[in-house]
Structure 1
C-alpha cells in the first residue's frame, strides 16, 4: 500500500501545480480516495469486502489519472503559449541581449563620452539613465517568462512520471480485482438460470430486440420497483467516458443504434449505476461481451463491448459494484499516457442501451451529464 500512498502524494502535488483550482481539488480528492481505498483494502476481511475495496481503488486511480492528464494538457497548452510569445519576440529579444551585452562589456566612463563635448556627454548620460531601467525591466520580464517556461517543462516531466506510475498501479489493481471476483463464492443470487434455455436463446436470436423479448421468459422478473425510476436524470454513467454517438445517431456506415456509444480508455472499470439483477452475461451477436441488468420491472440496461465481464445470470449487484473491464492492452494505456490529448486515449467503446417495456428509450434522459477529461 506504500506505492498507493506515494502516488496519492504525487497526485496532490501535480494538482496543486495546476493553475485551475478545480483540477487541484479533483486531484486532492482522488488522492484522498486512494488513501481511503488502501486502508479499506488492508482492513478487508471477507471476499466481498476485498472486492469492494479493490473496486474503490481502481476508481480512485482512474479519477487521479484523469486529473493528472488534465493538468498535463493545461501545462502543455501554457508551454505552447509561452513558446509562441517568445518566438514572436525573437528579434526584440536579440536586440535587448545585444544592448545588455554592450553595456556589460563597455566601461561606464567610455559609454558616457560624446564627440560633441561636455554638453553631448551630459545629454548622453541623461539618455542612459532613462534607457537603462527600461532595459533592465525588459530583461526581468524576459527572465520571468523563461523561468515560467522551465517550470512548465519540469512539471510535465514530473507529471509524466506520476502518470506512468499511476497507470502501473491501476493495472495491478484491475488484475487483483479480476482475481478477487473469480475467487468469490458468496455472490447473492435472485434466481438460478437455465443454461440450456439461455444457450438456445443466444443461438436463435437475430437481434437485440429478439434477445430481450426471449429473456423475459427465462427466470423471474423483479417483484418490486427498487427506486430506479425515481433516479431518472441523476444516474452516474457506468464508466469514465465521453459521448461518441447519441441515441439513434448514425455512424460513418449509416448504421444507427438506439443507444449511446461511449468512448473509454483501455482497461476502464465498468460499474453498476444502480442495484439490479443480472439477466445475461457473455458474448452476444456482434456486440462482443454483454451484460444485461434488470434494475426494475420491465426495464433492462444493456452494456456491451467490455473485454472482461463479471457475474452470472441471476446474480444481484448493488450500485457501484464492478461489472467488468474495458478491453485493450496495458501498453495501449501507456501509449495513451505518452500522447495526452491524442486519439489513442479513448480507443475502446462501450455501447449502452436502456429498454423500457418492449422498446429502447434514450439513456441520455436517465443519466446525469458528465464532462469528459
Structure 2
C-alpha cells in the first residue's frame, strides 16, 4: 500500500465493507437441521472407523516388519559369523581347488610307481574331487544365502521406512475426523454438559462400585436429555418419545451384545500376553493384557456408550463402555482419551491412544476386561477372527 493516497485507501475499505454487508453470510453449522447433523455424524463415524483401522494396520505392519528385520539380522549375523570362523578351512578348500584347476586329473601324467600305487592314487583322487566340489558348492550356497538375506533386509527396511513415513499422515487424518466428530456431537447436543456431570475421580478401587456410579450418572444424563426433548414437543409426541429418540447422537443401529460372540474386537493392535508376562493389574482369568506399539490407536471393542473416563487405580486413564444386556468393557492404560463420557461409539470407533514410547523401541500395555452383572467374563470366546500377521480384525459385516 506504499504510495497510495490515504483517502483512496479509505474509499477502498468502504467498498469492501459495503460488499460484505450486501453479500449473504454463509450458513453456520449450528443452523443445519438435526436430521442433516445426524446423517453427517453417522457418516463421520464410519469414516473414523475406517481411518482408525487403517492406522492400526499400519502400526501392525510396522511391528511385523521390525520383527522380521530383527530375525533376518540375527540370521545374517550368524551366517557371517560362521564364515568368519571357517576362514582357515575356506583357504584350504580354495587352495585345493586352485591346484586342481592348474593340474586337472585328466591332464596329469600317470604317477610313477607300481600299478597298485597308481590305482590307489586314482581311487583317492576320484573320491576327493567330488567332496571338494560339494564343499565348494556349499560355500557358494552360503555366500549366496548371505547376499539374499541382505537383499531381503534392504527390501523390508524400505517397506518399514515407507510405513513409518505414512503413519503420521494416518494420525493426522484420523485426528481431523475425530475433531469433526466431536464438533458434530457438540452441535447436536449443545447443552449435553448440563444434563449430567461426568463421574468424578473414584474414591474407591472397587470396579463394581465405579461401574455402578458411572451407570447411575449415565442414566441421569439420559433422563435429563429426555426431559429437555419432551419439553419442546406437544403432549402426545412428548409422551411417545423414548430415551433413545431423545439423544440424536445415539447410533440408529446398536447391536445386542448377547449375540456378539465372534464379533468382539481387541481394542488395540498387539499381542495378547501370557499371565507371567503381564505387567499391569488384573489377572489372566479376569481380562487380557495386550502388548501394543507406542502411541497405538485404541478403538471400541463393540457398540456401546462411554460411561466412565478417568483414573482407575493403578491406571492413570481408563475407559468403561456400557453395552447392552448388562455387559461392560474396561479399557485401562491409555495415554490420552479422544472421547467423552456419554458418547456413543460403534465397534472399531477411535477412543484414544496409548502412551508414547518411554525409550526407543518400547511399547505400551492395555488391559481389557469384559464384565457382566458385577463379574468378569472371559473375553476370548467373544473375540473376532484375527489375522495375527497384521493384527487385522473384521469390524462390521
TM-score (norm 1): 0.68
Deviates more, 1:170-179 or 1:62-71: 62-71
Give a deviation string over 1:289-321, Cα, whole Å, max 9, x none.
222211214221111111122222222211111
> In the superposition, relative to structure 1, how do residues 156 and 143 fare at CA in structure 2: closer, same or farther (>3 Å)?
same
Q: Distance in 1 between matches of 2:325 and 2:374?
A: 12
Q: Distance in 1 between matches of 2:292 and 2:379?
A: 17
Q: Give the equivalent residue in structure 2 for 1:39.
A: none
Q: Distance in 1 between matches of 2:173 and 2:279?
A: 38
Q: Distance in 2 between matches of 1:107 and 1:216?
A: 90
Q: Distance in 1 between matches of 2:50 and 2:164?
A: 18
Deviates more, 1:166-175 or 1:221-230: 221-230
1:292 maps to which of 301, 309, 320: 320
Matched residue SS, 1:238:
coil
Q: Give the equivalent residue in structure 1 for 2:158.
A: 161
Q: Give the equivalent residue in structure 1 for 2:271.
A: 242
Contact preservation (8 Å) 1:272, 1:317: yes
> In the superposition, relative to structure 1, how do residues 106 and 180 fare at CA in structure 2: closer, same or farther (>3 Å)?
same
Q: Give the equivalent residue in structure 1 for 2:207.
A: 208
Are residues 1:198 and 2:198 paired?
A: yes
Q: Distance in 2 between matches of 1:242 and 1:144?
A: 36
Q: Give the equivalent residue in structure 1 for 2:341.
A: 313
Are residues 1:301 and 2:317 paired?
A: no
Q: Give the equivalent residue in structure 1 for 2:350.
A: 322
1:268 maps to which of 291, 296, 308: 296
Q: Give the equivalent residue in structure 1 for 2:180.
A: 183
Contact preservation (8 Å) 1:238, 1:271: yes
> In the superposition, relative to structure 1, how do residues 112 and 172 fare at CA in structure 2: closer, same or farther (>3 Å)?
farther
Q: Give the equivalent residue in structure 2 for 1:363.
A: 379
Q: Distance in 2 between matches of 1:107 and 1:361?
A: 77
> In the superposition, relative to structure 1, how do residues 254 and 169 fare at CA in structure 2: closer, same or farther (>3 Å)?
closer
2:95 maps to which of 98, 106, 122: 98
Structure 2 gap segments, 5+ residues each:
1-42, 223-242, 245-252, 390-397
Q: CA deviation at 1:245?
A: 5.1
Contact preservation (8 Å) 2:318, 2:334: yes
Contact preservation (8 Å) 1:308, 1:326: yes
Matched residue SS, 1:198:
coil
Q: How does 1:1-373 map to 2 (within 5 A)?
A: 47-48=44-45, 50-76=47-73, 78-79=75-76, 82=79, 92-106=89-103, 112=109, 114-116=111-113, 124=121, 127-128=124-125, 131-184=128-181, 185-187=183-185, 192=192, 197-199=197-199, 201-220=200-219, 226-244=255-273, 246=275, 258-329=286-357, 332=359, 335-336=360-361, 344=362, 347-367=363-383
Tell me which structure has the larger Cα radius of gyration. 2
Q: CA deviation at 1:360?
A: 2.8
Q: Distance in 2 between matches of 1:260 and 1:109?
A: 72
Equivalent pairs, count: 313
> In the superposition, relative to structure 1, how do residues 251 and 265 fare at CA in structure 2: closer, same or farther (>3 Å)?
closer
Q: Distance in 1 between matches of 2:346 and 2:86?
A: 59
Q: Distance in 2 between matches of 1:111 and 1:241?
A: 67
Structure 1 gap segments, 5+ residues each:
1-45, 337-343
Contact preservation (8 Å) 1:245, 1:262: no
Contact preservation (8 Å) 1:207, 1:285: no
Q: CA deviation at 1:348?
A: 0.7
Q: Distance in 1 between matches of 2:106 and 2:384?
A: 74
Contact preservation (8 Å) 1:274, 1:320: yes
Q: Distance in 1 between matches of 2:333 and 2:327?
A: 20
Q: Distance in 1 between matches of 2:299 and 2:193?
A: 22
Contact preservation (8 Å) 2:60, 2:270: no
TM-score (norm 2): 0.65
Deviates more, 1:362-371 or 1:160-169: 362-371
Contact preservation (8 Å) 2:271, 2:290: yes
Q: CA deviation at 1:266?
A: 0.5
Q: Give the equivalent residue in structure 2 for 1:14.
A: none
> In the superposition, relative to structure 1, how do residues 260 and 194 fare at CA in structure 2: closer, same or farther (>3 Å)?
farther
> In the superposition, relative to structure 1, how do residues 112 and 370 fare at CA in structure 2: closer, same or farther (>3 Å)?
farther
